Structure 1
Amino acid sequence: MAFPLPRGLTPSEIGFLAEMEMVTVVPRQRLEGLELLGGPIEPLVPPQRASLPLWLALLLKRQRRANIMPPSWLHPEPLNLILEVESQHPDYRDTFSPPPPLPGQPSIRDDGLAPTARPQYTPDGNRYYASPPFLPQNTAQAEGFSSRDPPALPFHWVEMGNMMLESASDDLVEPDQIRRLLKDLREVRLAKMRAGTDVLDAAATGGGGVALTGVGAMEVGEERGFLTGVVDNLRKLGASKEQARREQMAEQRANGAYDGAQDEEEEDYMEF
């Protein structure tokens, strides 16, 4: 008998997708170009920077043929700022810090501007909108971050941080501090996800959805079972209350104490 697969993606599958993120490398020796499924890779010439998929960058790093430049958010100072926003900022006590803007979107500090994603085109001329991991959210930026555009966690921040700490810790600035900050961030954001029982109750009764703006891929994958389990149990509780109400109404009809106005309430009541 085959066991049913879990809902959604498993952590290993999420990590596999994160390996397609583009990162910046500094080659240590000349390497010929490659033809990959995701597109051609230009020849690597030291000390010129190049953008490579994370899986290829990690392979070259293990072979000591290239160094990986950490993205602008994977440094102690920006991680400290993000942790401060997540834990102390009054606007984000129950929500998550905003993610990086999509290509073509205005800065999150540009008030009054409607965000509009910029479309991209295939060689055949078909229009599409890129999404992680096909966005340059983990490439190294020469200018780093500024007060106008504060650092933000990308969609695959958990996987990216763990892989860099495991395979390229010598390319990071103060890796021990980065490891501690990433752990603190995961704990703070996990507590936020598990504290929204009121929102989950409203979602289970048809009163709205659960806002997950800014939540990473691994966070969604790890908490999917908890969130869906809570919603399913709340729906079962709501269904039992509805059944008890119907039985009470049937008893009132049998005893002649039924009020016809309750029919209208029953029509407006949403069944689970």
Structure 2
Amino acid sequence: MAFPLPRGITPPEISFLAEMEMVTIVPRQRLEGLELLGGPISPLIPPRRTPVPLWLALLLKRQRRANILPPPWLHPESLSLILDTETQHQDYKHAFSPPPPLPGQPNMRERGQRPIARPRYTPEGQRYYRTPPFLPQNVARDQAFDDGEPPTLPFHWLEVGTMLLDVASDDVVDPDQTRRLLKELREVRSAKIRSGVDLLEDAATAGGGVALTGVGAMEIGEGRGFISGVVDGLRRIGASKEQARREQMAEATANGGYDATQDDDDDMEF
């Protein structure tokens, strides 16, 4: 008898989806263009930078046919700034650093402006908006981050960073320090998820939700069991307390009720 799969998407499936993220490579030899399900890939001409899916970049890297340019957030300087924001900034003491803006959303410098969404259309004419991993959040740029714009972590930051450090560590700036910063950042953010029991209790009792803005895909996948278990346990506790309260009220009503006892006390005082 096979064991039932856990609810939700599993970490290996999350890593599989993260391989569809677009990264930038510098090919070492000419290769013809490819027709992929995610769209066509232009011919690879050295030393022209070309965005390709992560799985293809890792394959070419293993075959020594290309080098991978790390995304701007996977630099020690950027990771140090994000770690300082997570640990020292008062606004994010119990929250997470803001994620990169989606297409059409204003960034930090454009905050207050009206967002202008840019939809896309399917061959059938249906409108849709791109979401990770179909956003260029991991492609290389000339600068680590724009002037005045703090670095941000994409939705698949943990998966992309781990894969690049495992396969293309020679393309990453100071891989040992980068690996250490990623580990510290993961521990800090995991501690924030586990310390949010009070918010989970409020969500379970009030019937609301918990804001997970800025939480990555792998963090959600790993914390799904903990979060769902805490919420289910709190709901059972709340249901048992409510049942005990109703039984107490029913017993008090059967014995004469609270109002009758209160009236007797009022008469004695009078």
- Partners in 2 of 1:253 and 1:62 — Cα distance? 76
Quick check: 1:221 aligned with 2:242? Answer: no
CA RMSD of aligned residues (A): 1.4
Quick check: 1:170 aligned with 2:189? Answer: no
| SS at structure 2 position matched to 1:68 | strand
- Partners in 2 of 1:203 and 1:120 — Cα distance? 35
- Partners in 2 of 1:3 and 1:178 — Cα distance? 38
- Partners in 1 of 2:161 and 2:117 — Cα distance? 26
Query: In the TM superposition, what whole-angstrom CA distance separates every residue of 1:137-160 from its partner, at most 9, and x where no partner exists?
Result: 000012331342111000000000
- Partners in 2 of 1:109 and 1:207 — Cα distance? 35
* Matched residue, 1:33: 33
* Matched residue, 2:205: 205
* Matched residue, 1:149: 149
Q: Higher mean Cα deviation, 140-149 or 163-172?
A: 140-149
Gaps of 5+ in 1: 261-272
* Matched residue, 2:232: 232
Q: Higher mean Cα deviation, 206-215 or 80-89?
A: 206-215
- Asked if the contact 2:78/2:144 (under 8 Å) is kept, the reply is no
| SS at structure 2 position matched to 1:211 | coil
Q: Given the two structures, how large is their TM-score scaled by the length of structure 2?
A: 0.93
Q: Given the two structures, how large is their TM-score scaled by the length of structure 1?
A: 0.92
- Partners in 2 of 1:215 and 1:148 — Cα distance? 23
Q: CA deviation at 1:259?
A: 4.3
Q: Which amino acid aligns with 2:121?
A: Y
* Matched residue, 1:180: 180
Query: In the TM superposition, what whole-angstrom CA distance separates every residue of 1:171-220 from its partner, at most 9, and x where no partner exists?
Result: 00000000000000001101111111110000001253111000000000
- Partners in 2 of 1:121 and 1:34 — Cα distance? 22
Q: CA deviation at 1:114?
A: 4.1
Query: In the TM superposition, what whole-angstrom CA distance separates every residue of 1:222-249 from its partner, at most 9, and x where no partner exists?
Result: 0000000000110011011011001101
Q: CA deviation at 1:110?
A: 2.5
- Asked if the contact 1:33/1:43 (under 8 Å) is kept, the reply is yes
| SS at structure 2 position matched to 1:26 | strand
- Partners in 1 of 2:259 and 2:8 — Cα distance? 47
Report matched runs for 1:1-272 at 5 Å.
Answer: 1-259=1-259
Gaps of 5+ in 2: 261-270
Q: Higher mean Cα deviation, 69-78 or 105-114?
A: 105-114
- Asked if the contact 1:75/1:178 (under 8 Å) is kept, the reply is yes
Between structure 1 and structure 2, the one with the greater Rg is: 2
- Partners in 2 of 1:43 and 1:111 — Cα distance? 38
* Matched residue, 1:263: none
- Asked if the contact 1:96/1:213 (under 8 Å) is kept, the reply is yes
Q: Which amino acid aligns with 2:163?
A: M
- Partners in 2 of 1:235 and 1:116 — Cα distance? 41
Q: Which amino acid aligns with 1:40?
A: P
- Partners in 2 of 1:258 and 1:117 — Cα distance? 60
Identity of aligned residues (%): 72
Q: Which amino acid aligns with 2:244?
A: A
